[in-house]
Amino acid sequence: MTVRKRLYISNILMLVIPAVVSVLALVAGVLAVLTVASPGIDHDLTSEHELNELRADIAGMAADWLDTGGSAAQLERESESGGVLVVIERAGTEAARFGSVEADASLDAALAALGGAGTVSDGVTELYGEQLSGGAVKIYNPVADAASGTIRTLAVVFALLVLAVALLSVLLTNRFLTRFVFRHISGPLLTLSEGVRQIRDGNLDFHIEYTNDDEFKPVCEDFNDMAERLKDGVERSHREEESRKELMAGISHDIRSPLTSIRAYVEGLLDGVADTPEKRERYLRTINSKVGEMDSLLGKLFMFSKLDMGEYPYSPECLDAAWEIGDFITASAADYKRRGLEVHLGALPEACINADPICLRSILMNLLDNSAKYKAKPAGTASISGEVEGGQLVPHVDDDGPGVPDEALGKLFDVFYRSDPARRNPNQGSGLGLAIAAKAAARMGGDIYAENLSGGGLRIVLKLPLAKEEEA
């Protein structure tokens, strides 16, 4: 269940539960008050029965008193214990009075209207009258008003009770619902916090295992993706750091070698070792060749740096790929032949690509330079052919060189990588050519990779997007 649903349910329950509890408490209070306020069968009949018995006993005692002069003390005790006033009349006049309850003359008039027998009340005092053989008896008793006071007291008590129950239900409901929602928030937060600590401490292999289908699931998935990207970035930084270290070592080695030669030949010229015009010319040609090597190396380094920073001039245009590649081979085949590499043009489809012609020729030149440098025999061969696959032109350069170990295929396009880690053969280049080709291919929106041929040799595959119809 998502956190949104839990909050929705908790908000509803936060209103419903206190309301239901309050209504139940209110109903219970009303029923209790009504039980006290209504004439309860057992309670009221018992009171009425006792009152009637008291009146009958007093009437009997009054009749005895009138007939035989019965015990006045007994009448006094009965009236006091019953909380009533007893008045005995003989011949219409008061003969005796027992008890201390106040008598109201208006009740006497009301009772007289009833013929002196019956019950009348003014809401405060009740008067009962009965005619006897020798006279009459009147019994005054106060009307119990305890019921109304009890109702008011109970009403206040139950109102306070309902309020207390409502507040208590709100607090308990809030506590329960807070735990109901918060435990499904605090758990994922603790998990994420632990993940952050693991990443902070360098454990980039840490992954969060989260199976609940709620709002935290994409967060945990993004965390895992971040950890993967961070790990890749750290590993890439380590590789780049290793490349930079190799760069410093390689550049130092590759520059030191021609500089050492130049210095030696210059000293030879200065010391007069080259004592003939032919020697001086040979020395100067050697110096010029070494300067050219250094210039080429620095030029490649400059080009790679510009490509890496995205500052290398790039002017794409719609190119006929077959014509562009054929023209490059026609212009450079003789130079590569002098270097011992026969270059052949295979089948290429008619396709237009949106690319910078200088970048395209730079890629082709670096690929063929790689084949020329690493050929396994004095006269090597390389061929360029291609096809169209899935909206891309896929030309590839195949040579008959020694190939590379399978574990080195993925590193060929790393900057300054060479399959000769000891760099024992500086004439095989600086390792910048394929890195430049990879950067240039990426600049054109393409890709490049290498694979060993089954019959021996290396194939480097270039993928370039075709030009759109409107561009073509």
pLDDT at residue number 150: 60
| Residue 293 vs residue 75, higher pLDDT | 75
Is the pLDDT assigned to residue 181 strictly greater than 50? yes
Per-residue pLDDT of 98-155, as tens digits, reads 887 777 778 888 888 888 888 888 877 888 999 888 889 889 888 755 455 566 676 6
> What is the rounded CA–CA span in Å between residue 138 and residue 127?
7
Q: 462 - beta bridge partners? A: 448
pLDDT at residue number 44: 42
Instruction: Give 411's DSSP letter.
Output: G
Give the strand pairing for 458-465 and 392-399.
antiparallel
- Which of 448, 425, 445 has its CA nearest to residue 436? 448
Task: Using a pLDDT cut of 70, give the percent of the chain over it.
Answer: 82
Q: Are 99 and 129 in contact (CB under 8 A)?
A: no
Amino acid identity for residue 1 in this structure: M
- The secondary element (H helix, E strand) that includes residue 415 is none
pTM of the model: 0.47
pLDDT at residue number 420: 47
Mean pLDDT value across residues 382-391: 90
Strand order in the sheet with 118-121: 93-98, 85-90, 135-142, 125-132, 118-121
pLDDT at residue number 132: 85
Per-residue pLDDT of 297-323, as tens digits, reads 777 777 777 777 666 666 788 889 899
The residues near 285 (Cβ < 8 Å, ≥ 6 apart) are: none
Residue 215's pLDDT band, with cuts at 50, 70 and 90, is confident
Is the pLDDT assigned to residue 39 strictly greater than 70? no
Mean pLDDT value across residues 223-247: 82
Q: Angle at the Cα of 459 (from 454 to 461), degrees rounded to 5?
A: 130
Residue 42's pLDDT band, with cuts at 50, 70 and 90, is very low
Is the pLDDT assigned to residue 255 strictly greater than 80? no
Mean pLDDT value across residues 261-280: 87
Neighbours of 208 (CB within 10 A): 18
Per-residue pLDDT of 352-361, as tens digits, reads 988 888 888 8
